[in-house]
A and B are shown apart, each in its own frame.
Chain A
């Protein structure tokens, strides 16, 4: 929203800087600029700098800022994508915040934060602090490679792999039967009660490795004398974890929380290939809703409004985390 408004302003400032820079170029030849080496920046560099920025600004404005403005515009209209658009005011936004189906999909996305954020960071913290002392050796170097694999595999493929794992005859049920829990086997993604947690755990699978390895790197930067001091104090594993490891990792945790919360709120690929939002609406998330409303039901205005709401939602959750991590820095 803000960006749509600043777009033209930005362009104007490009023009202004170009003209002033050009003026100083004609006044100051190369030799003069070289003599004034101490000067912060020669005018000619300002001119060239804006030329160098131009392509990046062009693609960013053209394919991000302009579409954002278009989306904002659509969100105030009732439009099926082909016919005449009629102005609808805030009607679309009202529908996003009152329609139980749309609210439900936002709620599902918020629930997914448990699986995309809390579990990966929690498990990552435990794994990273436990393997802190054994970072050398075959197991840990193999671990880096293997834990990163889910980051390389497309999320859509993770969805396909796991929908087979969760199938009636799949690996999850095979394992449960083998350990004597044959009674609870089911088709996990087709069950109303288990579909959302099952989809969420796919997210945990994808993100836990990234969290573990980043946290391990963070632990590596913690001054080891802190660990020695707390051990000399007679602290056990728990106290060491809470007094040294956790505070030392604040920055990394903030980064990971930001990344994984965005992944949870804007999850699409995994859900599209595993459940498509079903059964019923149990795994519906904003990404899937926008896709369906915009392209299947052809309600472009409503879908656009939902897109804007999703963006604001991400900002509302992410900005406080950024602020927290800065304050604590």
Chain B
């Protein structure tokens, strides 16, 4: 492939500009977070006397530890259960292909297009009548249902590509469906499962609408949902608001930086499958 020199340079310049623009809001947050808490900061300036203490203040005043705990609880309620349920369904649809399976698949896929905003009103009254309103379960239960179309679709896409001979061989050896599922299919599904885990973690952790509507106490929400609480709490101090917001987005960014290859692959495939 021949590419002219000017194209290469132009490409590099544009890419660099895009990267700077991508990082700018985050750098701008950091710069604001390091200014004195009682003053209105100006743009991006490297502070002469960086106030790292703002992060400590924001952590304490914002009850960040409690927020992380309640978020973790919601994530633990959604992700493992979603994965288990979706794997069973994906295996049933992809490998066992029962009569009527195609209709079930279409039934699930139709759910992919429903915006959460369209369901939020009935979800509120549903959780009210179930008595889960203002508890983590008010968010956990609906998220299980709302993520199910994608999760089932995702796991089915994996299982449909597993060669049928494999399960036939297992059957001939006398394995039951469940034995075959646990000892042969699950280990093979690990890459698909871990990508699904990444996506579900991210979507739950960053979920905003459901916790804001269904849990009145901001401290019981997911971290993303709690950001509104930060806005109220720090409305007078932009440095503290930015410090608090940075604290809250850091765990996901750290997880991302550790598993970035898997993250990017999962998000890209997720985009294509979704």
**Within B208-248, which residues are at the interface with A (CB < 8 Å)?**
208-209, 212-213, 223-225, 227-228, 230-231, 238, 241-242, 245, 248
Contact between A59 and B238 (Cβ–Cβ < 8 Å)?
no
* Chain A interface residue number, banded: 35 or more
Is B124 in contact with A269, judged by CB distance below 8 angstroms? no
Using CB atoms, name the residue of chain B closest to A287.
B117
Asked whether B111 lies within 8 Å of A151 as measured between CB atoms, the reply is no
Count of B interface residues, CB-CB < 8 Å: 108
Contact across chains for B148 and A64 when beta carbons are under 8 A apart: yes
Distance in angstroms between the alpha carbons of A318 and B118 in the assembled complex: 16
Indicate whether A110 reaches chain B with its CB closer than 8 angstroms.
no
Asked if B36 is an interface residue, CB under 8 A from chain A, the answer is no
Say yes or no: is B253 at the interface (Cβ < 8 Å to chain A). Answer: yes
How many Å from the CB of B263 to the closest CB on chain A?
Answer: 7
- A49-B98, A149-B22, A231-B2 known; A68-B268 Cβ under 8 A: no
Given A60-B145, A157-B248; A209-B43 close (CB under 8 Å)? no
Q: Does B24 contact A (CB under 8 A)?
A: yes
B residues in contact with A198, CB < 8 Å: none
**Are B117 and A139 neighbours in the complex by a CB distance under 8 Å?**
no
Across the interface, A81 reaches (CB within 8 A) one of B125, B245, B249, B268, namely B125
- A286–B171 Cα distance when bound, in Å, is 53
In contact, B85 and A213 (Cβ under 8 angstroms): no
* Chain B binding surface SS class: helix
B152-164 vs A, Cβ < 8 Å mask (1 yes, 0 no): 1000000000000
Q: Mark B89-101, 1 if CB is under 8 A from A, else 0.
A: 1011100111111
Within 8 A of A (CB), among B112-129: 113-126
Q: A64-B111, A64-B146, A152-B252 are in contact. Are A213 and B264 (CB under 8 A)?
A: yes
Instruction: Report how far A33 CA is from B120 CA in the complex, Å.
Output: 47
**CB-based contact B224/A133 at 8 Å:** no
Do the beta carbons of B28 and A294 come within 8 Å of each other? no
Are A165 and B256 in contact, CB atoms less than 8 angstroms apart? no
Nearest residue in A to B98 (C-beta to C-beta)? A49
Binding site for A on B (CB under 8 A): 1-3, 7-8, 10-12, 14-16, 18-19, 21-26, 28-29, 32, 40-44, 84-86, 88-89, 91-93, 96-101, 103-104, 107-108, 110-111, 113-126, 141-142, 144-146, 148-149, 152, 168, 171-172, 174, 176-178, 202, 205-206, 208-209, 212-213, 223-225, 227-228, 230-231, 238, 241-242, 245, 248-249, 252-253, 256-257, 260, 263-264, 267-268, 271-272, 274
Q: A64-B148, A153-B253 are in contact. List 17 more A-B contacts (CB 8 A).
A: A6-B107, A41-B96, A46-B96, A46-B99, A53-B89, A53-B98, A56-B89, A59-B85, A59-B144, A64-B149, A70-B126, A71-B121, A156-B228, A165-B24, A165-B28, A255-B272, A272-B208
